[in-house]
Structure 1
Amino acid sequence: MEPVRGAVLDAAPALPGETSSRVGLTAAARDLLRLLREQHGPLMFHQSGGCCDGSSPMCYPEGDFITSDADVLLGTFNLDGGEIGFWMSAEQFEYWKHTHLTVDVVAGRGSGFSVEAPEGKRFLIRSRLLDVP
């Protein structure tokens, strides 16, 4: 099993009243997002709920995945002046609300529609209990 790599970039909290980040990026994820943004423009994440690629974070060109009141914005990454939102369904958030999510990258193609697939890499989530005072 690979060691858990820590987040090098935390998302700004987006939930009302929260001051701690719920989601972060590893250096590998940050670097891949820079490349993908050059190719696709502004990006967004939506945490998959089990369809297509298990429970993988799916990365889309911003607006290609339509969010609604049934989705929760967990945080926003400021990556070199551009924002990347990280979304999850409200129903799934009830199961994950006690965890901090770190977006990482591993070799191999996922089976979903995430934009990193042609790069021969895939995003995945590493989780830990949320540190909340």
Structure 2
Amino acid sequence: MSLVQAKSGAQLLAELRAHPTVERYFESFNAGDFDVTATLFAVNGQLQPPFEAAVVGSEAIAQYLKTEAAGMQAYPKALVVEPTADSTRRVVVKGHVKAIVFRVNAAWIFELNESGEIQSVSVKLLASMQELLSLRS
């Protein structure tokens, strides 16, 4: 399935349920329960936000999200599982993030370990340079 193909809400929900850690990530993120979000990460798990250094460890991730993501909502629209050479799984989710003053398309690239914990998640903004610059004002 191509990432650019739109999925019905029921189809996306079924795919998210097949990856419970990813589903719980979005549920807890949208509820603003960042302590729960952080517990989904492995001991040395990493959150790679756009344009910033990686945030490592659940305590640091929870604090970062409380500071930077309060009031944001993430809306997954498409999900693809990519094969990896080792025992990890890569789950790529595309959708958008909405905050009080902006809405931007985004992708979340999850690397899940064999226990289903988040080893890393990279958040990529899928916007033109013009769109990104308008977020600054």
Query: What is the TM-score of this pair, normalised by structure 2?
Result: 0.29
Greater relative contact order (CA < 8 Å, ≥ 6 in sequence): 1
Structure holding more helix per residue: 2
Larger Rg: 2
Structure holding more strand per residue: 1
Query: What is the TM-score of this pair, normalised by structure 1?
Result: 0.29
